[in-house]
Each structure stands twice: as C-alpha cells, then as structure tokens.
Amino acid sequence: MAPRQTMLRILALPLRRPAPSASVPLRPTPRIMTYYHFQLNRPQPSLTTNTKSTSFLPEGGVVNWVQLKAADTWSGFGKSKDGSWQLKLFQYGERLIDRIDFEELALKSVDPSLGPTISHPDISREEKPLVKIPLVYPPSILSGESSIAHLKSLVEHRTPRHRKMFWVFLIAAPLTAPFMIIPIIPNIPFFFCVWRSWSHYRAYRASEYLQSLLDKDAVVPTANKDLDRIYQDYAPKALPAPTPHSTVTPQPPFSDQLLLTREGIPQIRATFDLGSTAESDMYRAVEQARVREKV
C-alpha cells in the first residue's frame, strides 16, 4: 500500500485524436485530447501502536477528516432503501459527476495542501528540494514535447476558470438560505453550491501547483513501453477498408479517432497500481471523449 501513497507520477492518457481540417488544409492539427492522472499526494503518516497523538485534531488534519466523513455519508446514501430521497439524491449526484469535465476531476484529485491559497497565491518563491516528476506517456501516440506542451496549455486554461467558478459558487451559497424553510429534506441547493465551490477550489490550487512545477522544469516527459503496449492491445477497431468494386474515391480520414477503449482501463490500473477512484475517473474521461463534439 505504501508505494501507491508515496509515488510521484503523472500519467498522460491520450483519448481522442482530432481530425485535420478539410476546409483549411494549412491549419495546424489540434492537440490530442488527453486525460492526466496525477499521483502527487503527500505520503500519509504511518500509524504505529506505540505512538500516541497529543493533539485534539483528527489524524491527517481537519480537512482530510471532513472529506472522509463526507465520502462515507455519500456512500451511505447509495446504500439506502429503494425509493428513499437519499438514494434518489445519490443517483442524481452520480449522473451529475459524470457530466463534470474530466479535467476538473483529475485536478481536484491532487492534495490541495500542495498548492497555494487564495490569499497567498504565489508559491513559486518557496525554496523546496527539487524533485523530478515523470510524465509518463505512450510514445507511439505522443511525444515528450507534445505531452508537456499540452499539460502547460491545460494548466493555463484551467487556472483562471477554476478560480472564477470558486468565487461564483461561494457567493451563490448564501442565496440558497430560503430553501432552509422546507422541512424534512436538507438544503440541497446550499450543499450543491458548497460542493462545487470546494471542487473548483481544489482544482485551482492543483493547477497553480502544477504551474510551479512546470516553471521549475520539475516535470520530465518519460516514454513508457508498458503503457504503449496497452494502447496497441486495446485500440478501437478501425473502419473496414473499401471494397474493390467501390466507386467512391478514397479520402483522408476527416473524422475524429478514439485512441482508448473502456476495456483497456483495468489493464492501466493494474499496470500502474492505481486505486478504484482513478479507474472511475478514467471511465468518465473515456466516455466524455466519445461524446464531446469539439476538442
């Protein structure tokens, strides 16, 4: 269990290759849609029977305790009786999570204590030992240069977006106070605003932390043959070739190309020793890559 907690690594998982523009042949080819799985969390303190905590705070900190408590409560909603409002809320919430951008889900998985705070956004001057973090990618699909360029583009785009949406939902939360007069059920709009604000806050802090790593050249592109083999084994099947009697003139493939199927995700999880949450996020990313109209 320890290696999963202490591993520092970023997995670049290409999902879909956009088609070249048929109307504008000289237009640069858009970047490949890529899902990044971040393994950048702090190692958890080891628990021993001989050590006793003298602090009244929960082990791992208050924030971690609140997150675990909320996760347990939410999981309990999923085990509620059929027809109960808890189960209906859980089912609706899971569908809502499926619609959240997979980029946000990936960023918010990073330990928020690693990033800056809203009041102290500059962490670039902090003097810490420089650690090289491998950016693992399949070399038959991505290059080291393209993988790091896309990650930089992702961070630049996501940082202002998540900072803005954090404030939007935080300000909107008090406006849901009138719903508190409704008996029996909790103030769902309030909890939704708080949850979305916290989610964007975590994504913002993660993107700022990643920016500091990129500025210090701490992220190193690293080709991985095992990941490349998975992409070759589980690549979506190509369209059938035209028949010899076809009168249609062959044309370049001007349609998007999916690069990873759901069947390859369990193999990625097993190869890189990932958790069940990572597997769920990868399934969501693959499904979103399939249905998104634009990259």
Work out the burial of residue 13: count CB atoms within 10 Å of its CB; fewer than 13 is exposed, 13-18 middle, 19 or more buried: buried
Averaged pLDDT, 247-276: 76
Asked whether residue 192 carries a pLDDT value surpassing 90, the answer given is: no
Q: Predicted confidence band at 241 (pLDDT cuts at 50, 70, 90)?
A: very low
What is the per-residue pLDDT for 71? 57
105-114, 206-215, 256-265: which range is least confident on average? 105-114
What are phi and psi for residue 146, nearest 5 degrees? -70, -35
CB atoms within 10 A of CB 6: 12
* Separate counts of helices (H) and strands (E) for the chain: 9, 5
What is the per-residue pLDDT for 251? 46
What is the per-residue pLDDT for 156? 93
CA distance 147 to 157: 16
CA distance 151 to 154: 5
Is the distance from CB of 124 to CB of 117 less than 8 angstroms? Answer: no
20-29, 65-74, 145-154: which range is least confident on average? 20-29
Q: Which of 150, 178, 126 is nearest to 13 (CA)?
A: 150
CB atoms within 10 A of CB 47: 8
pLDDT digit string, tens, across residues 122-171: 555 554 546 789 999 999 999 999 999 999 999 999 999 999 999 999 99
Q: Predicted confidence band at 24 (pLDDT cuts at 50, 70, 90)?
A: very low
CB atoms within 10 A of CB 90: 18
H or E stretch covering 268: helix 265-272
What is the per-residue pLDDT for 65? 54
What is the per-residue pLDDT for 200? 92
pTM tops 0.85, yes or no: no
pLDDT mean across residues, the chain: 75
What is the per-residue pLDDT for 19? 66
What is the per-residue pLDDT for 85? 62
Q: Which of 2, 112, 111, 109 is nearest to 46 (CA)?
A: 2
What are phi and psi for residue 144, nearest 5 degrees? -60, -40
What is the per-residue pLDDT for 211? 92
Supply the Cα-derived Rg of the chain in whole angstroms.
Answer: 22
What is the per-residue pLDDT for 194? 87
Cα 160 from chain centre = 17
What is the per-residue pLDDT for 295? 45
Beta strands in 58-102 (DSSP E): none
In the chain, the N- to C-terminal Cα span, in Å, equals 36
pLDDT digit string, tens, across residues 95-131: 777 788 999 989 988 876 665 554 455 555 554 546 7
The torsion of the CA quartet 156, 160, 163, 164, rounded to 10 degrees, works out to -160
Q: Predicted confidence band at 252 (pLDDT cuts at 50, 70, 90)?
A: very low
Residue 141 one-letter amino acid:
I
At 36 the three-state DSSP class reads strand
Structure tokens that stand for 91 in this block: 């089912």
